[in-house]
Amino acid sequence: MLLEITEGIRKEIPLGFKHHLEKQKWSKFEEAPDVPIIQRELENAKYQLGTLGNGNHFIEIQKDEDKKIWIMIHSGSRNFGLKIAKEYNDIAKKYCERWHSKVMDISKDLAFLPIEERDCKDYILAMNYALLFAKENRKRMMSKIIDIFRSKIEKNTIEEVIDIHHNYARWENHFNRNVIIHRKGATSARSGEIGIIPGSQGTNSYIVEGLGNPLSFMSCSHGAGRKMGRGEAIRTLSLESEIKKLNEKGIIHSVEENDDLQEAPGSYKDIDEVMENQKDLVKIRTKLEPIAVIKSKKRKNEYSR
Task: Tell me the C-alpha distance between 21 and 49, whole Å.
Answer: 11
Relative orientation angle of helices 36-48 and 118-152, to the nearest 10 degrees:
10
Phi, psi of 186, deg, nearest 5: -145, 160
**Helix runs in the chain, H state only:** 2-12, 36-48, 78-98, 103-106, 118-152, 230-236, 239-248, 271-277
From the list 19, 57, 166, 222, the catalytic residue is: 222
Which residues partner with 282 through β-bridges? Answer: 210
Closest CA to 203 of 286, 265, 278: 265
* Active site annotation includes 222: yes
Residues forming the active site: 222
